[in-house]
Amino acid sequence: MKVLSVTSECYPLIKTGGLADVSGALPPALAAEGVAVTTLIPGYPSVLAALTNVEPILQLADLFGGPARILHGTAAELDILAIDAPHLYARPANPYLGPDGLDWPDNAQRFATLGQVAAFIAGGAAAPFVPDVLHLHDWQAALAAAYVHRQEGAQPGIVATVHNLAFQGLFPAAMLQLLAITPAQFTSEGVEFHGSISFLKAALVYADRITTVSPTYADEIRTPEGGMGLDGVLRARGSDVTGILNGIDTDVWDPEIDPLIPARFGRTKPARRAANKLAVQRRFGLAQDSGALLCGVVSRLSWQKGLDLLLEALPALRAQNMQLALLGSGEPGLHAAFSAAAVRDPAYVGCVFGYDEALAHTVQAGADALLVPSRFEPCGLTQLCAQRYGAIPLVSRSGGLADTVIDANAASRAVGVATGLQFAPVTRPALEHAILRLADLWRDTAAWRRTQRNGMAMDVSWRRPAAAYAALFRQLRPHAA
């Protein structure tokens, strides 16, 4: 079975968040299930630079204002089709934002291109490579479903995965002709969303199956509270919508061999984490106190992640002798507020702003607890990394966080299965209450160790999710459009 995974980011070639982790880790996991994945991705500079064994397989004279080539090659052990279209993608750094921090003004064309090329390939333009299934990730790939839907001839099955419903790819209706969307598709049963063009809706309407990245998020997005205006569309798809939990790449995230952390450790030797804790305290300028409970955060700084609540709860952390090491980047207001907190209380609050893969590993390897107070969280990956690395996750009870952390309450502790702490609702008092529960757990050393060991033993790999994706792909057969 051949799958074309269509994505705007893919670890380690280009990454802004969990989408890249998923699209990078799923192909090798699916290979073990007998599914061969080729990844179609824009030819950003970092992608083209990494590509080896390059062979041009398709020339296109004009894709939104310039010529393009489709290059087949290998990068990071992935089978890649890269869209080499310099007028769209030869831009540095972030795949979505210009140097001013704003969306590139031609993002509609840049990601409609991704969808169009996917549709060409679905129709046989890259034969002999013809996929059985298109796997579309998020809004950036979603328009492919609309283009394929109106193509003649046999077409692959389409699975669309929603990594975050908050990002929908909305553009003005005036772009209809430019984006080659037919009037027949611009209806409320098609890609129209309150008068605008919604890329994501194209996938929600025209894909054969829709997955999202956790069962709880699959439920949440079908409610008015969590559906971001698309809950009705999703409810109408009935059992075509399912949740498949993300895993993490357990070769990249393996504390026994991780080259990015100062001291390696395993489930049987968690005491070796102490050297990592000291390294984190040093790097973040915190007091070198092994007795203080060190909390880590590795996150985009955005409203979604609930970190404004954590700011408000800093006095509650301090009262329990807890330190905070925050690695993040995002909204300037949150940067400024956390910076100010670190200046006020440097022994207890330390921040590193920016994106730093190696430091993310070290925080996970050294922090005693990892805080994820998200207002909503489709799956969340950092709590999975934390559990594998022996940092106890304290998370809000939402989306994938609810599905992957077992709250250390009386019942779960009685049977010895707890892996962390959950809180709800996502408010300051509930977070502060959870901080008190974390302090209680820390004081009960035996219970803490047990919780830590349980987390480290959890299967957070891609093995089970990949089997679920493979089973889903196999249900779909190429069909006439």
| Smallest gap from residue 28 Cβ to ligand ADP (A) | 17
Question: Is 356 a residue that touches ligand ADP (CB under 6 A)?
Answer: yes
Question: Is 335 a residue that touches ligand ADP (CB under 6 A)?
Answer: no
Interface residue with ligand ADP, options 149, 150, 237, 300 (CB under 6 A):
300
Using the structure block, give the residue that is written with the tokens 């002798």: 321
Q: For residue 291, which of 315, 321, 265 has the smallest C-alpha distance?
A: 321
Count the neighbouring beta carbons within 10 Å of the beta carbon of residue 57: 16
Question: Is 465 a residue that touches ligand ADP (CB under 6 A)?
Answer: no
| Smallest gap from residue 69 Cβ to ligand ADP (A) | 30
Q: Which is nearer to ligand ADP, 56 or 354 (CB)?
A: 354
Q: Which is nearer to ligand ADP, 25 or 148 (CB)?
A: 25
| Smallest gap from residue 357 Cβ to ligand ADP (A) | 5
Question: Is 298 a residue that touches ligand ADP (CB under 6 A)?
Answer: yes
Reduce the DSSP state of residue 428 to 3 states and report it. helix
For the record, the structure tokens of 479 come out as 């069909």
Question: Is 459 a residue that touches ligand ADP (CB under 6 A)?
Answer: no
Interface residue with ligand ADP, options 46, 196, 320, 329 (CB under 6 A):
329
Question: Is 197 a residue that touches ligand ADP (CB under 6 A)?
Answer: no
Question: Is 234 a residue that touches ligand ADP (CB under 6 A)?
Answer: no
CA 275 to chain centre: 29
For the record, the structure tokens of 399 come out as 């989306």
Interface residue with ligand ADP, options 23, 109, 155, 299 (CB under 6 A):
299
Q: Which helix (H) or strand (E) holds 218?
A: helix 215-220
Question: Is 21 a residue that touches ligand ADP (CB under 6 A)?
Answer: yes
Q: What track of x and - describes contact with ligand ADP for positions 378 through 397 (by CB under 6 A)?
A: -xxxx---------------
**In this chain, which stretch among 32-40, 108-116, 170-178, 355-363 interacts with ligand ADP, using CB under 6 A?**
355-363
Q: For residue 333, which of 311, 313, 316 has the smallest C-alpha distance?
A: 311
Q: Which residues contact 320 (CB under 8 A, 6 or more apart)?
A: 293, 435, 436, 438, 439
For the record, the structure tokens of 408 come out as 């250390």
| Smallest gap from residue 324 Cβ to ligand ADP (A) | 15
Which residue minimizes CB distance to ligand ADP?
18
| Smallest gap from residue 382 Cβ to ligand ADP (A) | 5
**In this chain, which stretch among 60-68, 235-243, 377-385, 448-456 interacts with ligand ADP, using CB under 6 A?**
377-385
For the record, the structure tokens of 121 come out as 């390939």
C-alpha pair distances (Å), 122 with each of 70, 148, 215? 14, 7, 29
Handedness of CA 233, 235, 238, 243 (dihedral sign): positive
Interface residue with ligand ADP, options 328, 366, 373, 455 (CB under 6 A):
328
ω into residue 131 within 30 of 0, thus cis? no
| Smallest gap from residue 389 Cβ to ligand ADP (A) | 11
CB-CB contact of 364 with 381 (8 Å): no
Reduce the DSSP state of residue 103 to 3 states and report it. strand
CB-CB contact of 479 with 157 (8 Å): yes
| Smallest gap from residue 233 Cβ to ligand ADP (A) | 22
Question: Is 357 a residue that touches ligand ADP (CB under 6 A)?
Answer: yes
Interface residue with ligand ADP, options 13, 82, 141, 327 (CB under 6 A):
327
Question: Is 161 a residue that touches ligand ADP (CB under 6 A)?
Answer: no
For the record, the structure tokens of 20 come out as 């890249």
| Smallest gap from residue 457 Cβ to ligand ADP (A) | 21
For the record, the structure tokens of 325 come out as 């090491």
Rg (CA), the chain: 23
Using the structure block, give the residue that is written with the tokens 């996917």: 118
Interacting residues with ligand ADP (CB under 6 A) = 17-18, 21, 298-300, 327-329, 355-357, 360, 379-382
